[in-house]
Structure 1
Amino acid sequence: MLYSRDTCCRQSAGASAGSWRAFLAPVVAGVLVLPRAAGPSIMTSALENYINRTVAVITSDGRMIVGTLKGFDQTINLILDESHERVFSSSQGVEQVVLGLYIVRGDNVAVIGEIDEETDSALDLGNIRAEPLNSVAH
């Protein structure tokens, strides 16, 4: 089942409604990091706020994909629209590879963060040099 802002399950009112917050890791500068032990229902509830917003996804294989989050499911599979991959290099500027409508498998998602579009559009990606991210070591 795919979730969106309209269809995502909501916490019920009452004493148990706030209990899921104890599992959330701190959210710093718009980056959402959730421990996998928290369970899929908690993670999908937190992702609801990112629907129809521009997000950056860092994958466990070291890729950075930016796009509009259109939907997700209980295993954190993500549907991104108007997406592109930012390929970093220490010798050249950041290359943007157009992906369009793109699905990221949930088991490959490491970090999801909201992008401030005004700040992002002001970046001169052609002059940014950075080493590519390494993949996650298990």
Structure 2
Amino acid sequence: MAATTGLETLVDQIISVITNDGRNIVGVLKGFDQATNIILDESHERVFSTKEGVQQHVLGLYIIRGDNIGVIGELDEELDASLDFSKLRAHPLKPVVH
């Protein structure tokens, strides 16, 4: 039996990735490999601040190395669409320290 990462069910779905350096990147999962390197399409980075709303920087087609991924999660598109990011305030995430 082949080992799986659980990402198979998320292909062609919108996901949110938190990287080890504290970035939040959202996009459509297009592929991944055995090292959990992932390919996102239609991606953007969400930059959080305590002083202004969430900024969203368009990245487009984007590759993230597996060793830089902290968390991968499925995104609830309906809930995400209902959020007013211009009014959200939050501290930026700090990098993961090993």
**TM-score, normalised to structure 2's length?**
0.96
Equivalent positions of 1:1-138 (< 5 A) are 11=1, 41-43=3-5, 46-138=6-98
TM-score, normalised relative to structure 1: 0.69
**Greater share of strand residues, 1 or 2?**
2
**Identity over the aligned pairs, expressed in percent?**
59
Post-superposition offset of 1:76: 0.4
Runs of 4+ aligned structure 1 residues displaced above 3 Å come to: none
Higher relative contact order (CA 8 A, sep 6+): 2
Query: Which entry has the higher C-alpha Rg, 1 or 2?
Result: 1
Aligned to 1:118, what secondary structure does the other structure show?
Answer: helix
Consecutive unaligned residues of structure 1, counting only runs of 5 or more, are: 1-10, 13-40
Q: In structure 1, how many angstroms separate the alpha carbons of the residues matched to 2:82 and 2:38?
A: 26
| Structure that is richer in helix per residue | 1
**Could you tell me how far apart the structure 2 residues matched to 1:79 and 1:42 are?**
17
